[in-house]
């Protein structure tokens, strides 16, 4: 996705929100770089979810966002275990971290497609009442959901440090995809 200056053209605002999701995907990958399955399941501190729960939750929420933006949802059988209000206690039935990463990468590909769709009515009604002082439009919904990701990315950065890994290392290359080199 090319980076845009949206100040000159309000029609570029949805693409700017799409760019935020793309940046979040890079930060998501950075937060999980070098994390083992054991560390991902480790409860970092009281009142903070595991890295795996946070990663699974963001992936689950992205599936919801995809549907609202006219894309196919993710079809992972484990998505519901990471819904809001679900237990953040590690469970042996949770997926491996790599499964979550693969689904998250697919969600980013589909989000890129959604934000490139000229047919979406960004000024149309949102899928539900927004719990934030944003315009009640599909664009307001997408903006809120990008902010929701940023909130949890902050938690992931803290959890990363709490399980003994270094702090988040931000890459400065805006073209970096955040996807692993296999």
Residues 147, 134 contacting (CB under 8 angstroms) = no
Q: Which of 74-83, 98-107, 117-126 has the highest mean pLDDT?
A: 98-107
Q: Is 95 or 90 the better-scoring residue by pLDDT?
A: 95
- Which string of b and e fits 64-103 if b means at least 16 CB within 10 Å? bbbebbebebbebebbebbeeeeebebeeebbebeebbbb
d(CA 83, CA 49): 12
What pTM, to 2 d.p., does this model score?
Answer: 0.86
Across the chain, mean pLDDT equals 85
In whole angstroms, give the CA distance from residue 156 to residue 30. Answer: 10
Residue 51 clears pLDDT 80, i.e. is over it: yes
Confidence of residue 112 (pLDDT cuts 50, 70, 90): very high
Domain 12-162 has CATH 1.20.120.450: yes
How confident is the model at residue 167, as a pLDDT? 79
Q: Range with the lowest mean pLDDT among 16-20, 60-64, 129-133, 140-144?
A: 129-133
Cβ distance 63 to 79 under 8 Å? yes
The Cα-based distances of 154 to 15, 23, 72, 157 in angstroms read 23, 13, 28, 5
């Amino acid at each position: 996705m090319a980076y845009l200056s949206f100040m000159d053209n309000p029609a570029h605002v949805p693409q700017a929100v799409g760019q935020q999701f793309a940046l979040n995907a890079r930060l998501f990958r950075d937060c999980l770089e070098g994390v083992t399955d054991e560390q991902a399941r480790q409860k970092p501190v009281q009142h903070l979810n595991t890295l795996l729960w946070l990663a699974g939750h963001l992936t689950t929420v992205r599936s919801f966002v995809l549907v609202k933006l006219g894309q196919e949802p993710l079809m992972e059988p484990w998505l519901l275990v990471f819904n809001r209000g679900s237990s953040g206690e590690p469970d042996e039935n949770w997926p491996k971290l790599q499964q979550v990463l693969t689904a998250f990468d697919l969600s980013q590909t589909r989000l890129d497609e959604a934000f490139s769709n000229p047919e979406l009515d960004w000024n149309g009604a949102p899928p539900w009442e927004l719990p934030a002082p944003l315009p009640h439009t599909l664009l307001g919904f997408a903006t809120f959901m990008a902010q929701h990701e940023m909130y949890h990315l902050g938690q992931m950065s803290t959890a990363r440090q709490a399980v003994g890994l270094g702090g988040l290392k931000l890459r400065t290359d805006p073209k970096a995809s955040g996807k692993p080199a296999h």
